[in-house]
Structure 1
Amino acid sequence: MMRFISSAAFVIFLMTAGCSSNDNIIDPEEPDPVVENPPADDFSGPEYADDYSAISGWDNRTSWNLANVHDPSVVYDGEYYYMYGTDASYGNAHEGHGHFLYRRSKDLIDWEFRGMAMTETPSWVKDTLNSMRVRAGLDIIDSPVYGHWAPVVRKVGNKYRMYYNIVIDNYIESGKANTPANFDGSWTEHAFIGLMESDDLSSNTWVDKGMVVSSVSDRENNWSRSNTSDWNAYFKWNAIDPTFIITPEGNHWLIYGSWHSGIVALQVNPSTGKPDNLSSIEDYGTLIARRQNSELNRWQAQEGPEIIYNEKTGFYYLFLAYDELSVAYNTRVCRSTSITGPYLGIDGTNITEGGECWPMLTHPYKFNNHSGWVGISHCAVFKNKETNEWFYSSQARLPANTNGNAYSNAIMMGNIRKIAWTEDGWPVVMPERYAGVPQPSISESDLTGTWENISMNYEYKVQQKSSQLILSSNMTASGALSGTWSYDQDKKILTIGELHLNLEKAWDWEASPRTTTFTYSGLTAGGRPVWGKKTTK
């Protein structure tokens, strides 16, 4: 388990540098394009800055809104949406104030930062760790180095359950902190998933229920590591990044895992929220996804699972975070009719057996007049049960050196985007962040004009940039996409050539001043996302 690899683990957020806060972040390498935006209407959307470095300190937390969001989990209590996340903030502003940042909102747009959900690390973590070490003939660790990562919160009956993750960042052999100077030829220690319960989220009163599961190895006491470039991990299942689902049949499942050997599904007792038995490695879960076919490969570059069930399609959808988190992070999705798989991609590839997962839903990108975003993954997916709308939430990072700030890649803005569904039952993420823009009837004539199109290829750490697209009144498309185009007004599907694109009215976050526009999102036949937004009348 490597802190510099796992999403929740990459907590190196450096001290703030002098950088002013702008509503729109200008790419210094590209001149501002002259565009004629669609006329403003009566809608007034969010105006808070994407670069929040000027208000990143703890004393400014009441102004954070969606600043300092990492690995979010979102749950609705009937009045508010609550968002919980990993211990991470620009400049480490949260340190010394507890663990698991949380905030709430009534509309998914304006968020009130509420503080921390956990006051201090539960004592069971150290006690359990040292009991394991004593049984292995190792010295106890007096002051473990903790990491608090990636909680997930769900309502279960009349209670709310938070499955949280605590890693121990000490070497197994010596017990010393994980630093290059301390490397002792061993892997780092166990990770633990614990459980807290609350009757009322507004009170922030949680009762800790102890350990649910820990990392587990199939190598007994062979925890040696040849060097820091050896990625053949000691643990088979890595107990981090939990997510949780109750199936239509009423069974409770914890899905977890990261990087090591893949993602597993663990059935838990509905009454306790824990597994009934952990006596053998088989009790720790069933493999449901891996990125490499080889059983010996424990460097999967895959983590942050999120799972939902869509009753309209009859599928479980498993969302996965791919690659390192600071820039390359991208989101994939696969689906199955069974909670334990097999999970298949859009091309029929078996992800449970180690196939590469498509579709890809997010990737580092940029529209004009903005630095763009990178590191967009480890998502929460949730539904507004009143409107039946689905939403995608994750962090997104600014690229390095944005606005001249060498540390801007440590700026993590919470993103909430609507999910649309293709006609064959795959989710797509909309290009612009959710702003509550009213959804009027959209006519064919609204769509003629100039657009920015991003046809996203998978390129490691490379932002996908937009190209100009023109939709002409004679129903031809030219530029980034070509062919004829048509529009189904009832379904709000824009068709360009062979592409079928979900359309909506949205908030143009890159425009200056911000205004409303039209956007689309769809998938190629191979599962690559296509995003677009209109830039002229």
Structure 2
Amino acid sequence: MIYLIAIALFVVACDSDSVVDPEPEPKPEEKESPPRNEHFVGPGYSDNYTSISSWAQRDQWNLANVHDPTIAKSGDYYYMYQTDASYGNAHDGHGHFPYRRSQDLVNWEFLGTAFETVPAWVKDSLNSKRAQMTPPLSPIDNPDYGYWAPCIRKVGNKYRFYYSIVVTNPIVGSSTETSWTERAFIGLAESDDLESNVWEDKGMVVCSVPDGLETYTRTNGNDWSGYFKFNAIDPSFIVTPEGEHWLIYGSWHSGIAAVQLDPETGKPFKLEELEDYGVRIAGRGNVATNRWQALEAPEIIYNEETGYYYLFLAYDELSVAYNTRVARSENITGPYYGINGANITNGDECWPMLTHPYKFSGSNGWVGISHCCIFRDTETGQWYFSSQGRLPEGVAGINASNAVMMGQVRAIEWTEDGWPVVMPERYAAVPQLELADDAMWGTYELITMNYEYQTQQTSTTFKLNSDGSVSGTMSGQWSLNTEEGILTIGNLKFIVRDGYDWETSPRKATLVLSGLTAQGQPMWGKKL
């Protein structure tokens, strides 16, 4: 009996050995990236500045309460000027066109306002033009003004400051439901030294002008067939390589215009003889019939390295949906074309898109990111994009959160085929270290921005593995051009730079990625 049990145990043991799986081969251990800028200390100011938003606390604002910025360098400082706008209208009663300065584009000192009062010529010009209308209209004794969207440029030894002043009274009556509001004016002031804040006003450059195709009355508040052909706001100024001076301006009313200026005066050669005050260089939709085109805030630069003029445009309404587009041309007056060959001068939809409402994980994200200024550090050659960003509507714990406007500065990089891309994280002066493959290993957030009206785009994650593979919401293989800082995943290319993760707590330096899809959608990423 004992003998039989022993045999049975031997058989069971043999059977058991025969079905045991062999030990799996150990996978190679996933390697970690070496530390990078680990001791960098970046800006710590809060994006929710409501607790210090009053005028009495303006010395703590830094980049709080910024809208429609324009930036120029004078001496050791960058100076930023802007539209009259602030949370709770804290600026009211303290002058116009707030400004601040910075030596590093990160820490900003609020200095006050550029103008104390509205220039007298605005009211005089307004009422002179009203008297010339058919039939003549009576003067407006106490106009209501808006102070919007300046543009500053250095011309020779002087700084030229083009500014917008809008008369917001209805042309007739008391309701904007039945009458268009009065015209807008672009004026010019000059200064020898921005530190002095001493400006010599030069008067009107251009104003909104009717072309006779529409009346100034409105059938109701949904009648958007504008009375003025070109709306004289949002100036941008450029000197061409040939030495020509041009003003680019416009908003919604029939598109974007360009008018040549006298280099000596900074004004049109024959102001009163201009036909429609310039030529249209960009529109949206049917430019022959559509007089309300949902684009504005032109900003124009010339990049001598590519040989193109770049026209940046703001699309849609400013509180949430604002997004930035760009087109380019070899000629200052166009035609301007998008990345897909579309003719933006004729009203085609403009691509690439460069900014859009977005949200990385762990944050409220930003909306209303447009009306940009584009400027270049002449010492380093680095281009920058600056605009406001707004917090989304309904952020818990913040009253009127969408009125929180934070100034934002981001680096611009250029794709291999000569299109600008905006880096996803705000500039923080993070040192740019040499790149190597091992710096890329790790997990990333990525936002590929579809165009969705008033909708924040959200992120997914993927991983760059040390064996060259990609996992997560992207797949395939990756490679890095270490000299140019270009990451390739399949047919997608990303520009890689050292940046700053503003959304994590605590904030830290990290790698950031920016690129474009073939259709011109921005792709923003950051390493976690």
TM above 0.5? yes
Partner of 2:27 in structure 1?
A: none
CA contact (8 A) 1:64 1:113 kept: yes
Code of the residue aligned with 2:392 in structure 1: it is: P
Give per-residue Cα distances to partners, 1:282-305, cap 9 Å, x unaligned: 251111000112411011110000
CA contact (8 A) 2:209 2:276 kept: no
* Change beyond 3 A, Cα 1:184–1:517: closer
Give per-residue Cα distances to partners, 1:449-507, cap 9 Å, x unaligned: 11101011000000000111111122222223222111110110000111110001111
Partner of 2:496 in structure 1?
A: 503
Partner of 1:422 in structure 2?
A: 415
Report how far residue 186 of structure 1 moved.
Answer: 1.8
Answering whether residue 363 of structure 2 is matched by residue 370 of structure 1, we say yes
Distance in 1 between residues matched to 2:455 and 2:125, nearest whole Å: 42
Q: Any gaps of 5 or more consecutive residues in structure 2?
A: 1-32
Partner of 2:166 in structure 1?
A: 167
CA contact (8 A) 1:506 1:518 kept: yes
Partner of 2:188 in structure 1?
A: 195
Give per-residue Cα distances to partners, 1:54-93, cap 9 Å, x unaligned: 1100011011010010000000113110000000000100
Structure ranking higher on relative contact order (CA contacts 8 Å, 6+ apart): 1
**Greater shift in the superposed pair: 399-408 or 164-173:** 399-408
Report how far residue 279 of structure 1 moved.
Answer: 3.3
Match runs of 1:121-520 below 5 Å: 121-136=118-133, 137-174=136-173, 176=174, 182-183=175-176, 185-219=178-212, 222-280=215-273, 282=275, 284-520=277-513
Distance in 2 between residues matched to 1:424 and 1:467, nearest whole Å: 27
Secondary structure, in 3 states, of the residue corresponding to 2:413? strand
Paired residues, what number?
Answer: 494
Answering whether residue 96 of structure 2 is matched by residue 103 of structure 1, we say no
Code of the residue aligned with 2:57 in structure 1: it is: N
Secondary structure, in 3 states, of the residue corresponding to 1:202? helix
Identity among equivalent positions (%) equals 61
Give per-residue Cα distances to partners, 1:29-62, cap 9 Å, x unaligned: xxxxxxx997762211100001100110001101
Report how far residue 400 of structure 1 moved.
Answer: 1.3
Distance in 2 between residues matched to 1:399 and 1:222, nearest whole Å: 37
Report how far residue 401 of structure 1 moved.
Answer: 2.0
Secondary structure, in 3 states, of the residue corresponding to 1:279? helix
Answering whether residue 83 of structure 2 is matched by residue 86 of structure 1, we say yes
Report how far residue 185 of structure 1 moved.
Answer: 2.1
Distance in 1 between residues matched to 2:436 and 2:396, nearest whole Å: 39
Partner of 1:528 in structure 2?
A: 521
Code of the residue aligned with 2:494 in structure 1: it is: L
Distance in 2 between residues matched to 1:239 and 1:67, nearest whole Å: 27
Distance in 2 between residues matched to 1:470 and 1:230, nearest whole Å: 51
Q: Any gaps of 5 or more consecutive residues in structure 1?
A: 1-35, 177-181
Code of the residue aligned with 1:300 in structure 2: it is: Q
TM-score after normalising by structure 2: 0.92
Report how far residue 281 of structure 1 moved.
Answer: 5.3
Distance in 1 between residues matched to 2:275 and 2:36, nearest whole Å: 60
Code of the residue aligned with 2:47 in structure 1: it is: D
Distance in 2 between residues matched to 1:532 and 1:65, nearest whole Å: 26
RMSD, aligned CA: 1.4
CA contact (8 A) 1:171 1:184 kept: no
* Change beyond 3 A, Cα 1:448–1:255: same
Distance in 2 between residues matched to 1:433 and 1:533, nearest whole Å: 12
Partner of 1:179 in structure 2?
A: none
Match runs of 1:41-60 below 5 Å: 41-60=38-57
